[in-house]
Amino acid sequence: MYNVSTEQFTGPLDLLLQLVEKKNLEITKISLAQVTQDYMNYVGDQTLVHSEELADFLVIASTLLLIKSKSLLPTLELEIEEQEEILDLENRLQLYKVYKEQGVKMYEIWNKHSYLFTRLPWKDTEVKFSPPKNLLLSSVSQSFKKVLEFFEEEIPLEEKKIVKIVTLKQRIKELVQKLTQGKDYSLEELVPDKNKRVELVLTFLAVLYLVKENIVKIKQEKNFGSIWISN
């Protein structure tokens, strides 16, 4: 919603709040019904409400007319949406009143140039433990036990040795030194421990790189047979 500023009021909610407070009324359906005509008079005065902001004022005006109609015709049945609009306007106006009052207090504090706020000092305060009269030691103990039940039991982790992993660059260097000696090797011979899958994959990638660079050659006599590497 747009913020409309004039010398008399700021926006539609501010206008409505001023009209209610001028009559010393609480924010209720009855008070809103009583200020409806005054509000409409302001809205109709183009010197107070500019045409570009008129729509915002008319939204509230329509709800006020609804409240006024209900007060004049108690038997008038309102739709659920209409009832919600009335309740929403009341809540918004009450909330706006709180904001406005707190804004005045903040403005006064700001003019005093007091920008630091702390809690009361505890230097001379005597610390006391004041338990309830019916508190028993057994109750405290039971409470702590209930709190401890929420914590999961610690499960010790299995200890394992850290295995040093050779990088691909290091593995390529090792293979170059080994394969340039004039001997052919099978892939199985280059990785004696078949359980070390990481080392097997690393060696295979290193071999593929050396093949790509035309440093070594590979051959396989049959499907799923041994892969031989030679320089």
**pLDDT tens for residues 32-89?**
777 778 777 777 765 666 666 677 777 778 788 878 887 777 777 778 887 888 788 8
pLDDT band (50, 70, 90) for residue 5? very low
* pLDDT tier for residue 206 given thresholds of 50, 70 and 90: confident
Q: How many CB atoms are located within 10 Å of the residue 31 CB?
A: 19
Say which range, 25-34, 151-160, 181-190, has the weakest mean pLDDT. Answer: 25-34
pLDDT at 6: 37
pLDDT at 46: 58
The C-alpha atoms of residue 177 and residue 185 are separated, in whole angstroms, by: 13
Mean pLDDT along residues 168-185? 82
Instruction: Please report the pLDDT score of residue 115 as a whole number.
Output: 67
Is pLDDT above 70 for 2? Answer: no
Residues of the chain with pLDDT > 90, as a percent, come to 0
User: What is the structure's pLDDT at 215?
Assistant: 84
Q: What is the C-alpha separation between 101 and 106, in angstroms, rounded?
A: 9
Instruction: Quote the CA–CA distance of 104 and 223 in Å, as a whole number.
Output: 88
Mean pLDDT over 5-33 rounds to: 68
Are residues 89 and 108 in contact, defined by beta-carbon separation less than 8 angstroms?
no
- Identify which has the larger pLDDT, 77 or 147: 147
- Greater confidence (109 vs 125) lies with 109
Q: Which residues make beta-bridge pairs with 217?
A: 230
Average pLDDT, the chain: 77
Using 50, 70 and 90 to split pLDDT, how confident is the model at 170?
confident
pLDDT score at 134: 82
pLDDT computed for residue 84 by the predictor = 83
CA 81, 83, 86, 88 torsion-angle sign: negative
Tell whether the model's pLDDT for residue 1 goes beyond 60.
Answer: no
Phi, psi at residue 171, to the nearest 5°?
Answer: -65, -40
Label residue 66 exposed, middle or buried (CB < 10 Å: 0-12, 13-18, 19+): buried
Domains and CATH numbers, the chain: 11-111 (no CATH), 168-230 (1.10.10.580)
Q: State the Cα–Cα distance between residues 176 and 132, nearest whole angstrom.
A: 81
Q: For 177-204, how does the pLDDT look when each residue is reduced to its tens digit (9 = 90+)?
A: 887 777 888 877 887 666 677 777 888 8
- pLDDT score, position 69: 80
d(CA 73, CA 208): 91
